[in-house]
Chain A
Amino acid sequence: MTAALIGLPLFGATVLLLGGRRTNAWGHYFAVAMSASSFFVGVATFMSMLGRSAEDRTIETHLFDWIAVGSFQVPFGLQIDQLSIAFVLLITGVGTLIHIYSIGYMAHDENRRKFFAYLNLFVAAMLLLVLANNYFLLYVGWEGVGLASYLLISFWQHKPSAAVAGKKAFVVNRVGDVGLSLAVMLMFVTFGTVTFSGVSAAAGNGDATSLKLIGFALLLAACGKSAQFPLQSWLLDAMEGPTPVSALIHAATMVTAGVYLIVRAHAIFDLSETARTAVVVIGAITLLLGAFIGTAKDDIKKGLAGSTMSQIGYMILAAGLGPVGYVFAIFHLLTHGMFKAGLFLGAGSVMHGVNDDVNMRHYGALRGAMKITYVTFGLGFLAIIGIPPFAGFWSKDEIIKVAFEQNTLVGLCTLVGAGVTAFYMTRMMTMTFFGEARWEKDVHPHESPSTMTIPMIILAVGSAFGGLLLLFVGDIEAWLEPVTGFATSTEAGGMAWLMPTTLLVIAAGVAYAWNTYGRRPVPVVAPAEVSLLTRAARNDAYGDAINEAIFMRPGLHLTRALVWFDTKGIDGFIGGFAALIGGLSARGRKLQNGYARSYALTMLGGAALIAFVLYLVRL
């Protein structure tokens, strides 16, 4: 049954890829069908799990022995438990919605078939990632997702910037994957096994240093995939891909894989304090960095990408807080999946309306022309900044509460983050839908077709009531507790003052954004002389520049030097050696000067040499 989850989209992808021209006509419907059927299978499994008692909810299926060399045994097994079913539902659910959305979005793209094939491939890879029962198979899913994101980012291959972005994303992910492979190696060396059950069982008697090292390696992997602080530069360039891609991959599913990895390896993180603090620090930094970048971005998708980066910073931070934070990290992940996908799809329909122009300064007063997009985008907006009844509030508020309990400084960061999030989301909302119209000449915005708006509506509903549903009806804490372990915070309700202060901070952010962008007219061309901070934000806090300076430029210089060394150095040396022999030979030839007398002279010299050697021997 669980194998079918992965099998269906994989089958869809292979059929479409190998099918070629013949599948163009019905290709996309077939892909949607595959994704939907995988969703229904997921729901069915979920229902059956609900039926069973808490302990025996995990279903373990072993397909075959993948690698068996000496003591390194890696089974090709799938494991579905409470944590992974949550992810499955998110992936297949949001995935199917985005498949439907892309029918409309990609309607007039000539290799649409290939797009849907890659989408199905992505869903299959992501499912493999979350369903694997050992870290090695997870690594395979991990890289599969990276490949799919590469293919989809650089989907419009004729655009050079897309190709560069795709390559950059893949290479930076590869750097993260180094961490994951090191972690798997460390696990094998210390515990002798790589399966989740094996590792968590043996984690108890692991020594502190190797646990710490495994923790750091896993964190590096998470940073790579979830675009956390050191390796975050690729996420903003990834917006080159079509918007459904950004929605599915760079908002809902792929970027959260890092969080899933840390939560799945909670056995390791529970035991090493330093690893957890590192995760929290990284989470906090990225949270602030993402928000800070979001404030100055004029491109709507890049703004949303900055906000994704900071929301994931929240989740990583929560996961880093240990058993108390895992549940809320996953809870925020699910709600974020819904409202961020909604926002992206909204941005997509906005772009669709204004002939694919991404610059928010050319929007303004779109609420009249695109009613549905306005409403759904508005609901998503309210959810993300954390207004009480909506999904964002419940999950983010819990994280802020837990953060304050653990460490006030971290709590403060989350609070400031919430404020800045409110600021840039309101800025985006006002620049796009309110103020006066700053449209280009031939632009006359219209509402997107129904295939695009229906998924937006569903997601808007999700972002509105999702939080309530999960927290109270589904009781997510109880649901995840057996898998991730859940310790209720020490003093219940002690922080009464916390709820009002967060709402106050959010209100301040909204107000400030409203009066800078709401009331005053927004200049169509971005003002040049701006404060140092804004300029830094515009070029992603110079993240790319730093990478360029530290790695790329010296790397290329080193390569050029090595190429020179290779041709001149080694070849030079060998050539020199050959030239030496040639020179010796040419000079030696001259000795043979044709005179019989000089030959006789050499013979006489030779006789003297022989006599001398024999004389020496006699001594």
Chain B
Amino acid sequence: MKPSFEYAALAPIVIMLTAGVLSVVIEAFVPRTYRRGLQLPLVFVSIAGSFVYLVSSATAILNGDAAMTGGQYQGLRQIAAGGSVAIDGPGMFTQGTLLLVAFVGALLFAERSVDPQGDAFASRASTLPGSEDERQFTAQGWSQTEIWPLFLFAVSGMLLFPVSNDLLTMFIALEVLSLPLYLLAGMARRRRLLSQEASLKYFVLGAFSSAFFLFGSALIYSVAGSMTFGTVATALTDTLQDPILLTGVGLIAVGLLFKVGAVPFHQWTPDVYQGSPTPLVAFMGAGTKIAAFGALFRTFYVAFGGLRWEWRPMMWVIAILTMVVGSILAVTQTDIKRMLAYSSVAHTGFILIALVATTPSGISSSLFYLLAYGFTTLGVFALVSLVRDSTGEATHLSQWAGLGKKSPVVASIFALFLFALAGIPLTSGFTGKFAVFTAGVEGGANALVIVAVVSSAIAAFFYARVVVLMFFTPETENTADVVIPSYFTIAAIGISTAVTLLLGIVPQPVLDAVVKAGVFVR
């Protein structure tokens, strides 16, 4: 029988994969000097193309679908590629967010005029740090254009991850997404020892957690007879509380919670955020979290929906741990990137509240929160990459003293992002938090909301501390200076600021889109 392969639905993933392959071809055949000139257009065109296609197919299906199902809006509903991909409202919205984040991420990747030696990635990753080779390669201005195929493959992995409809495809998407990021993490141009260490840690722990995921899916498969979510969900309902099932759910949870950065599995986040090159941290911080939460929601709402009363207490414990540890550990950080890493752990905790709510508003609020959080992270890390001193990025907080006076524009935009992360009204962060907390209370997780309120109070302290450091403390001699970037980063910062403000002041259109996205397809 002929394999069913709905190109229309899978278009975004297919476009990105072909772009990846094409960029490998460019790497192979085009001489070094022209490679960048070809890679950049390929990347931006492919992302833009797949986004345009996604939006058009979404509206088309939407109208068509609405017509088909007599107007009562049931959300986009389609199982594709022989059951291994589920294209539905939330899936498409996550893919849309991912493509936007990838676009801005690509802008940051392409930035070359911030670092005098070139872009943020090492001229030759294989050279020994501090060796003659490295000095020569840098002097001759070599640049590692292999980052683009890796970037494209990572994006395609992220696109597939939230929409995969069976455990095997999800595992493979997880690997496709993670491997390029392990590699990119080790290719920083500055402080290469730290970068290599970050990539080693990310790799070892990533492989470790994917093994858990795999064993969990094996156990689920042994009970349900198939790995597709639909059949798993129906199988769960009739088998009584089979212990193998719950162990499987637990192990899969370990795999996914690692990717999201929830507390017992969060220890990689600070080291990787601090070690890896900043453009990667920006893209990975936003992209991985969005994709991983997409997958987490799909698995726990569709596949294990029936076992809701079993896995909610576990998620309660994880959410509380994540929020509390995330915000408390961030208080005494001295490195700006590590502090932002812990704050990202705290934000994971807030989104877990929406997961625990197990209500349709839970899905829609998490989608909104991830969109808002994604762009704020991109903006924050884009700005961090601008604050530099002679040796590279000035990430120690003492080097940020008095930045408000030295370059008010960058400092005030950074303050805006910090307020967004803290959740001050009129910023996207606030609307996101409000939506998530409302979903939490509707889902009966009142205690979680109280813990969230307390931890965001603690979070407000260390955000405010940075604002005080920038605006109210006098300038010292080792205050870093701010580099004027090229249009790439300016565009990236501009987009993120605009999104952060718009989603704070006029969130209504996006909130409508999110609600219209509806629920997961079975």
Which residues on A are within 8 Å of B, measured CB to CB? 578, 581-582, 584-586, 588-589, 592, 594, 596, 598-600, 602-603, 605-607, 609-611, 613-618
Contact = CB atoms under 8 A, between A and B. Distances in A.
Main secondary structure, interface of B, reads: helix
B268 interface: yes
B264 A602 contact: yes
Given A589-B332, A614-B310, 20 more contacts: A584-B328, A585-B331, A588-B325, A589-B329, A596-B201, A599-B268, A602-B267, A603-B264, A603-B265, A605-B264, A606-B263, A607-B251, A607-B264, A610-B250, A610-B253, A610-B254, A611-B251, A614-B250, A614-B314, A617-B314
Interface in B213-255: 241, 243, 246-247, 249-251, 253-254
B265 A606 contact: yes
11 contacts: A578-B461, A586-B332, A588-B328, A598-B267, A602-B265, A603-B264, A607-B212, A611-B247, A614-B311, A614-B314, A616-B313
B306 to A, nearest CB: 14
Contacts of B212: 607
Nearest to B254: A607
B314 A610 contact: yes
A609 B247 contact: no
B271 interface: yes
A611 B250 contact: yes
Nearest to A584: B328
A556 B147 CA distance: 74
B313 A581 contact: no
A611 B317 CA distance: 12
The 3 closest A-B pairs by CB, nearest first: A606-B264, A599-B267, A585-B331
A611 B253 CA distance: 10
A592 B267 contact: yes
Greatest chain B CB density within 10 A among A588, A600, A606, A618 is at A606
Nearest to A617: B310
B451 to A, nearest CB: 14
Nearest to B462: A585
A586 B334 CA distance: 11
A609 B251 CA distance: 11
Contacts of B209: 603
Contact of B205 (A582, A585, A600, A617): A600
Contacts of A585: 328-332
Interface string B257-271: 110000111011011
B321 to A, nearest CB: 9
Contacts of B205: 596, 599-600, 603
Contacts of A615: 246
Contacts of A596: 200-201, 204-205
A408 to B, nearest CB: 75
A607 B314 CA distance: 11
A582 B201 contact: no
Given A589-B329, A603-B258, A610-B250, A618 B264 contact: no
B472 interface: no
A607 B215 CA distance: 12
Main secondary structure, interface of A, reads: helix
A617 B246 contact: yes
B208 interface: yes
A599 B309 CA distance: 30
B250 A607 contact: yes
A581 B317 CA distance: 20
B253 to A, nearest CB: 6
Interface string B319-346: 0000001001111110000000000000
B458 interface: yes
B344 to A, nearest CB: 15
A578 B263 CA distance: 22
Contacts of A607: 212, 250-251, 254, 264
A576 B460 CA distance: 18
B332 to A, nearest CB: 4
Given A596-B205, A603-B265, A614 B249 contact: yes
A422 to B, nearest CB: 76
Nearest to A595: B201
B254 A606 contact: yes
A605 B267 CA distance: 12
B208 A581 contact: no
Contacts of A606: 254, 257, 263-265
Greatest chain B CB density within 10 A among A588, A605, A610, A618 is at A610
Contacts of B253: 610
A614 B332 contact: no
A563 to B, nearest CB: 27
Greatest chain B CB density within 10 A among A578, A598, A602 is at A602
A585 B317 CA distance: 20
Nearest to A599: B267
A588 B321 CA distance: 13
Nearest to B255: A607
B464 to A, nearest CB: 13
A588 B325 CA distance: 8
Nearest to B248: A614
Nearest to B316: A613
A617 B307 CA distance: 11
Contacts of B330: 585
Contacts of A609: 264, 317
A595 to B, nearest CB: 9
A613 B200 CA distance: 31
Contacts of A614: 246-247, 249-250, 310-311, 314
B267 A581 contact: no
B332 A582 contact: yes
Contacts of A611: 247, 250-251
A606 B317 CA distance: 11
A613 B314 contact: yes
Greatest chain B CB density within 10 A among A582, A586, A614, A616 is at A614
Contacts of B331: 581-582, 585
Nearest to B310: A617
A482 to B, nearest CB: 70
B236 to A, nearest CB: 14
Nearest to B332: A585
Nearest to B318: A610
Contacts of B200: 596
A438 B251 CA distance: 110
Nearest to B201: A596
Nearest to B209: A603
B314 A594 contact: no
A489 B169 CA distance: 115
A40 to B, nearest CB: 68
A592 B313 contact: no
